[in-house]
Amino acid sequence: MFADKGYSSRANREQLARNGFCDGIMSKAPRGLPLMSRVERGVNRLISSVRAKVERAFGTFKRNYHLCRARYLGQDKVELEFHLVAMAFNLKKCWAMVK
């Protein structure tokens, strides 16, 4: 489970461990201390490289496909819209790879 450092808390990390998820929450320096350790910075760099790929896709959905807000009422319609946009996104990426 990957998450931003805003979710970095002992309670969240314990809940991930209880439910059997790998802890991918980015670390942040405790208040009053100047820097994180070298290991924590390295782990944050690894996590951010994975998260960047996922966040890029969601940014494209918002920017190019206008998915900032739901256009329809009802979960079924909103899910259908998201799935259609995801299919269009994947077809566009596939076409770019074929060219």
Residue-by-residue DSSP string for the chain: -EE-GGG--HHHHHHHHHTT---EEPP-PPTT-----HHHHHHHHHHHHHHHHHHHHHHHHHHHH-TTS-SSSSHHHHHHHHHHHHHHHHHHHHHHHH-
Per-domain boundaries in the chain: 1-66, 69-99
What is the pLDDT at residue 81? 93
pTM over 0.85: no
Q: What is the rounded CA–CA span in Å between residue 87 and residue 4? A: 27
Question: Mean pLDDT for each consecutive 10-residue tract of the chain (99 residues)?
Answer: 90 94 89 83 92 90 89 93 94 90
What is the pLDDT at residue 82? 93
Q: 52 near 28, Cβ under 8 Å?
A: no
What is the pLDDT at residue 75? 94
Q: What is the rounded CA–CA span in Å between residue 3 and residue 27? A: 10
What is the pLDDT at residue 32? 79
